[in-house]
Chain A
């Protein structure tokens, strides 16, 4: 009953907010897209954002914000109502010359769901992206600076307003490092042929460090490397992280992306003296998205495989292999003029997720290791405009520890509700 009352009050305030009048003259600001592609690939997501151009200034600005209410119960225990301001992101783009452009993104993030390290450290400001692009040919562009590595679809296409769920996909943020960025350089390009579009990206950047197998999570945890902010100036292994992606899109079928990362992650020498063997982390990812004609059903899915060379005689809690992903199905049920908004949409959606943080079998018993999670999340979302989303989610999640135990801290059955809003501005 308390939950229902609280939820109704929240709903009232949010609707009040949504119906309030704008307080600035929006005619001074012109929304523009930085990418002129007729239909971009997922890898273009960082550029396919609504930017505001002010007059004739060569600079465009934009950003997005995410905030939500959440009520979650873990095996009957709850910390009650939680009000979370997850992130505020500000991006600035500028055209330096005809085929030279610069984009930067600064983010305040406080994300207890997506990044446990950050949750314990509290909110922080981060330079998420700051890269210069020089076009030599449509199939050959140079990019350098702090870039978001092209692993999977979510890593580059993670803006809150694009999704119908308050929580980010678990596998893409707690198995892969969500919004994984590094300093580096690379090339990319695109080619269009009739209904087909082809794109590629390839970068050499800084990368992971030993934290991926030595962290408070007690499992192989690639996101742990995000807490190493020194990676923007110093590589732990002294070797580049190779990351790349190829994508193919057909206007009638959808887009398929294949991506990879490979890195020597450990500090294997100190002052020129070898202290350890080189150990690699490899990630392979496949993503697909499509829209079913007539029904307008959107389907987005991504699955990833992680392979880490773990030292011998190290705890089996740190896995050599991981696997996980998600599938989102979003169905618009009403669209058009709603509540006075000209281009509004009401969607129902469903997300299914699975992560196995420890693929393999115990050496001691030959039996399967678990450390797995699955989750189902139905949702209702309302978009008064394509750039703003109000979303209500229910999550049902089951998690087992490495031996398959379902009773204890952070494992077992979890369920909860969340109501959030996210918008570009």
Chain B
């Protein structure tokens, strides 16, 4: 009997102690280089708000708390998994504007076609005559830094292209801003009252407040204090619904804006690898850096961690003519249908991790590899794309290695 008791006590205490003491049996923290959801350096109070925003950002919406009746996705996190790029299953369709004179289909549910609807509602359909383009969700991380880049810096980047030998030009997308938006203190509006916008595939959205309000409304069918009407479907023959109160509270809304503003920028991996460094040189030599700017600097921000910071988004926030191959016949603001905002390349190497192990690049995910994406560059980028095609295999490989390190 003593033998049994000894076995039992030994088995339980020794076994349990080994388990409990062995920290190796617990998962280690995600390497910050592989994750995008960390905040910038915040105060404790700011961290509380950031955590609240994180919860709301990834909270799934239901019909009972505002989803729909027409929607694309059920949460912010559905499109921006891990604060990275989106997947084609949450791709959205924008329609109704084919030139710089504005959207002609707002009374038909424009500017966005919600491809999902709650049971009992009719699916939305493209109004006859409308042109459209499909957008895959962009990376969220680092957005606060892009927001804090002063207009003067954007204008300076545009000016620097004036004599570019490759024909790179690029210009800011000046657009009207909604009445609920307060322009930045250092904003430089155009004479016609339009402001430099910077978010979205066409750079037609002014700041992250507008971006979040539009995403809630257009992507999830959720009203806010800023956009109080639900999207509607003209085929259902009902007027845009005005819920009695906003479906996302101001507290939650502001927390999400703060969360997106304070997401850390993606961290480059293997930056000291000679191949990566060589690829960076090739990137500059063939002219990619002319638009995909490696270093931008923020201006003043009320959030200290975002103020006067130099960072590497690989974008100039300008719209450029990308050629007929990328002309969907749809546009926003004062961009032409061939013009697209330079996509930030940061976090590019992490994209397959949120896109099912493969790449879905360009505005609608049509490019299935980085190489394919480069070769789809036309218009102002055609010269650089041509140089890429003429690179030696070694240089081409180094360039791709560099891009995957971002």
Contacts and interface: CB of A to CB of B under 8 A. Distances in A.
Interface of A: 1, 3-4, 6-8, 11, 73-78, 210, 214-218, 266, 275-276, 279, 311-317, 333-334, 336-339, 344, 346, 362-365, 367-368, 370, 380, 382, 392, 394, 396, 401-409, 412-417, 419
Contacts of A3: 20-21, 23
Interface residues on B, range: 35 or more
Nearest to A400: B356
Given A7-B16, A218-B78, A408-B37, A364 B120 contact: no
Contact of B16 (A73, A210, A392): A392
Contact of B30 (A75, A314, A363): A75
A101 B73 CA distance: 51
Contact of B73 (A315, A333, A396, A406): A315
Contacts of B178: none
B97 interface: no
A302 to B, nearest CB: 27
Contacts of A402: 89
Contacts of A364: 87-89, 91
B353 A406 contact: yes
Contacts of A11: 12-13, 16
17 contacts: A4-B17, A74-B27, A314-B116, A317-B74, A333-B7, A334-B7, A338-B1, A346-B7, A362-B88, A362-B356, A364-B89, A365-B88, A380-B16, A403-B89, A407-B30, A412-B30, A413-B27
A415 B119 contact: no
A367 B75 CA distance: 22
Given A217-B60, A380-B15, A73 B119 contact: no
A215 B11 CA distance: 44
Given A403-B87, A407-B30, A275 B58 contact: no
Contacts of B78: 218, 315, 317
Given A365-B89, A380-B11, A392-B19, A216 B62 contact: yes
Contacts of A4: 17, 20-21
Given A77-B29, A394-B25, A405 B64 contact: no
A216 to B, nearest CB: 5
- Central interface residue in A215, A315, A337, A409, by most chain B CB within 10 Å: A315
B13 to A, nearest CB: 7
A86 B118 CA distance: 36
A278 to B, nearest CB: 11
B63 to A, nearest CB: 5
Contacts of A1: 21
B119 A276 contact: yes
Given A76-B28, A364-B91, A403-B355, A338 B120 contact: no
A75 B27 contact: yes
Contact of A412 (B4, B27, B71): B27
B62 A215 contact: yes
A312 B120 contact: no
Contacts of A409: 37, 54, 58, 77
Interface string B51-74: 000100011101110010001011
A218 B75 contact: yes
Contact of B82 (A8, A314, A333, A407): A407
Given A315-B74, A317-B74, A334-B7, A407 B35 contact: yes
A326 B364 CA distance: 40
B192 to A, nearest CB: 39
Interface string B193-220: 0000000000000000000000000000
B203 to A, nearest CB: 25
A401 B86 CA distance: 13
Given A337-B4, A380-B16, 7 more contacts: A75-B29, A313-B116, A317-B78, A362-B87, A362-B356, A364-B89, A405-B354
A382 B8 contact: yes
Given A214-B63, A313-B116, A338-B8, A403 B58 contact: no
Nearest to A397: B27
Sorted nearest first, the 5 A-B pairs with minimum C-beta distance are A76-B29, A218-B60, A413-B27, A7-B20, A364-B88
A271 B222 CA distance: 28
Contacts of B356: 362, 365, 367-368, 370, 403-404
A414 to B, nearest CB: 7
Contacts of A368: 356
A313 B12 contact: no
A161 B403 CA distance: 56
A363 B116 CA distance: 13
A317 B77 CA distance: 12
B82 A416 contact: no
Contacts of A415: 25-27
B8 A334 contact: yes
Contacts of A334: 4, 7-8, 11
A1 B64 CA distance: 46
A366 B246 CA distance: 37
Contacts of B62: 214-216
B405 interface: no
Interface in B111-162: 115-120, 123
B186 interface: no
Contacts of B29: 75-77
Contacts of A8: 13, 17, 20
- Central interface residue in A218, A337, A396, by most chain B CB within 10 Å: A218
B357 interface: yes
